[in-house]
Amino acid sequence: MQRIKKGDDVVVRSGKDAGKRGTVQRVLPRDNRVVVANANMVKRHVRPNPQAGIAGGIQEREAALDLSKVNPFCRTCNKGVRIGFKTLEDGRKVRVCRSCGEALDS
């Protein structure tokens, strides 16, 4: 089971965007990286492609962050936390906050 999944709220721990909150848009498990909305913004020069309807110019987009630079956000603790795993009575395995013990999975 992954510690961080697509759609999770995370807090960036270090780098130029330290302290920013955002949702995970993509997880790249092969590279141990995640793409977080509105974090690690970079400028890319894009060539125009009229067939695809792409206008050329300079675009700003999110670049991937290393997985170790983000922590899941716990709504109960109101901060970035470490993740633990717990097996429920019905046999489901859920991710839990290490600080308060609250389940992060719905």
Q: Cβ distance 28 to 12 under 8 Å?
A: no
Residue 52's SS3 state is coil
Fold observed for domain 9-49+56-97? SH3 type barrels. (2.30.30)
Count of CB atoms situated within 10 Å of the CB of 21: 15
Would you tell me how many other CB atoms lie within 10 Å of the CB of residue 30?
6
For the stretch 37-86, pLDDT in tens is 999 999 999 999 999 999 999 999 999 999 999 999 999 999 999 999 99
The string of pLDDT tens digits covering residues 2-33 is 899 999 999 999 999 999 999 999 999 999 99
pTM above 0.95, yes or no: no
- Closest to 74 measured CA to CA, from 10, 7, 1, 6: 10
**Tell me, what amino acid is at 69?**
K
